[in-house]
Amino acid sequence: MEYSNIIVETRGRVGLITLNRPKAMNALNDQLIDEVGDALDAFEKDEGIGAIVITGSEKAFAAGADIGAMANYSHMDAYKGDYITRNWERLKSCRKPIIAAVAGFALGGGCELAMMCDMIFAADTAKFGQPEVKLGILPGAGGTQRLPRAIGKAKAMDMCLTARMMDAAEAERAGLVARIVPADRLVDEAIEAAAVIAGFSLPIIIMIKESVNRAFESPLSEGLLFERRTFHSAFGLEDQKEGMAAFVEKRKPVFKHR
């Protein structure tokens, strides 16, 4: 497939999507988001891919939605055409795990895009923010919802109401970021982690992802029930037999359903 706003590569069993609008700090227009959706669809169908990394440039993961493109939208344009927000939920429905590898600015829709991924690895240069208030709008792709779930109400309010940015160290302390990595190692480390994930049993990886996400969608009792049912179903998989046999026989497991 031809892409003009992203670069799509594979590294072993890892799919790599690089946002590529360098002149606009990877500002997210509808075409770019559509292309990310198409690339995810292709990786989802590809049995050779077990996990995905989304990254940007050294300067910017993404500096938000494309301000120039949306500056003159009317309410009717935005609502009827589902502009700016269309296709974003495609990230959420991807069953294979996605790591956001963030260097430089992750602002507005850029921060929201990173939060839609399953975990964020941040370069020590990363800066996260929801500066929409400065533009006379509010976050529109999860900033007011996923950010408080990740870092709590106090810090989320601070970021959304004052537009202040959070550096990588604070983002890691607050729980937004899984790992901080030196900038020159960022993509390699994300690919290495994705390769580890891609070496495990894919059905189990999907079950883990669904179960952890369930923690944010349901009361504890429902989440625990979902986990227990899913846990029991794992005993119906060949890969469970292989994983446990390999442990008992002191060898490395060879999972069939990667």
Catalytic residues: 65, 109, 112, 132
3-state secondary structure of 169: helix
Residues 184-213 as x/- pattern, contact with ligand CO8 by CB under 6 A: ------------------------------
The token pair that represents 88 in the structure block = 């974003």
Instruction: Between 49 and 60, name the residue whose CB sits nearer to ligand CO8.
Output: 60
Alpha-helical segments (H) within the chain: 30-45, 67-70, 75-81, 89-93, 109-116, 143-151, 153-162, 168-174, 186-198, 202-214, 220-234, 238-248
Query: Which DSSP category does 65 fall into?
Result: B
**Least spacing, CB of residue 158 vs ligand CO8, in Å:** 17
Residue number, nearest CB to ligand CO8: 108
Does position 50 bind ligand CO8 by CB under 6 A?
A: no
Q: Check residue 135 for interaction with ligand CO8 (CB under 6 A).
A: yes
Query: Would you say 165 and 76 are in contact if contact means Cβ atoms under 8 Å apart?
Result: no
Yes or no: say if 56 and 29 are a contact pair by the CB < 8 Å rule: no
Q: Rule CB under 6 A: is residue 64 a binding residue for ligand CO8?
A: yes
> Which listed range, 8-16, 35-43, 58-66, 192-200, lies at the site for ligand CO8 (CB under 6 A)?
58-66
**Using CB under 6 A as the criterion, which residues of the chain lie in contact with ligand CO8 when the complex forms?**
24-25, 27, 63-68, 84-85, 88, 105, 107-109, 131-132, 135, 139-141
